[in-house]
Chain A
Amino acid sequence: MKLLYFAWLRARIGCAEEEVALPHEVRDVAGLLDWLRSRDGRYAEALQNLAIVRVAVNQDYVGLDHPVRDGDEIAIFPPVTGG
């Protein structure tokens, strides 16, 4: 699974993109975020407030209960500020 991070989430995590093997118990976005937070203090800090975290699976916005699968492209980023 490919994980992408943008804006201050990328800066805090210290990584723009990584390939991860999904643990068996991770089935949805909420599970993925829990697992990432447990990996490292940088993830725990960057992902502590989910009110300011958006997730896209295969380039569409999704909620925390959206399923995740190996092969998905999952992007994690703050609320957008373009325009």
Chain B
Amino acid sequence: MIRVQREDFDIGIELDRLASGNHRIGGIASFIGLVRDMGGSDRVSALTLEHYPGMTEKKLAEIELEAHRRWPLDASLIIHRYGRLEPGDRIVLVATASPHREAALAACHFLIDWLKTDAPFWKSEDTPDGERWVEARAEDDAAMIRWQGRSSEDER
């Protein structure tokens, strides 16, 4: 399931709901992304997340489908927020449920790596000098490339 929303989410409720009623599920893996205070001399008071409505949902649905193609998942959830967020706020939740931990953990890692390079979101930081757009990190591209060309057989 995909949700793109301005409001916060409750991790406990979301994870409970993911496995509710399905007793095949043996484990849930999750990743929660938070707004980080970058520190240093430039204090960031808040972030604003912009996205491309329509394409965001399309890309997230494609990414989720690809995870289900690669691993035996019983359920998955991606929630991504947009709008103004402050340090410590939750930005993203990725959760995957499977009979066994290997698939759940690998698929969760795959989803967050892929989301960071494919989902059309952009962060700008509020600084004393005005808005500053966050630059994409080469490490994120490298993390995504690791998943390319790996078949589902390699993962299982």
Chain B nearest CB: distance from A61 CB in Å? 8
Main secondary structure of the interface of B (DSSP, over half): mixed
Q: Which of A24-32, A39-47, A62-70, A72-80 contacts B (4 or more CB under 8 A)?
A: A72-80
Question: For chain B, which range describes its interface: under 10, 10 to 19, 20 to 34, or 35 or more residues?
Answer: 20 to 34
Partner of B92, one of A6, A81, A82: A82
When the two chains form their complex, are residues A82 and B121 in contact, meaning their CB atoms are under 8 A apart?
yes
Interface assignment of A59: CB less than 8 Å from any CB of chain B: yes
Q: Which of B108-124 contact A (CB under 8 A)?
A: 112, 115-124
Contact status of A7 and B33, CB under 8 A, knowing A82-B92, A83-B119, A83-B121? no
Q: Count of A residues near B, CB < 8 Å?
A: 18
Q: Output the least CB separation between B111 and chain A (Å).
A: 10
> When the two chains form their complex, are residues A83 and B122 in contact, meaning their CB atoms are under 8 A apart?
no
Question: Given A6-B50, A7-B50, A7-B122, A81 and B55 touching (CB < 8 A)?
Answer: no
A80–B49 Cα gap in the complex (Å)? 11
Which A residues are CB-close (under 8 A) to B122? 6-8, 77-78, 80-82
Contact of B147 with A by CB under 8 A: no
Q: Are B134 and A81 in contact, CB atoms less than 8 angstroms apart? A: yes
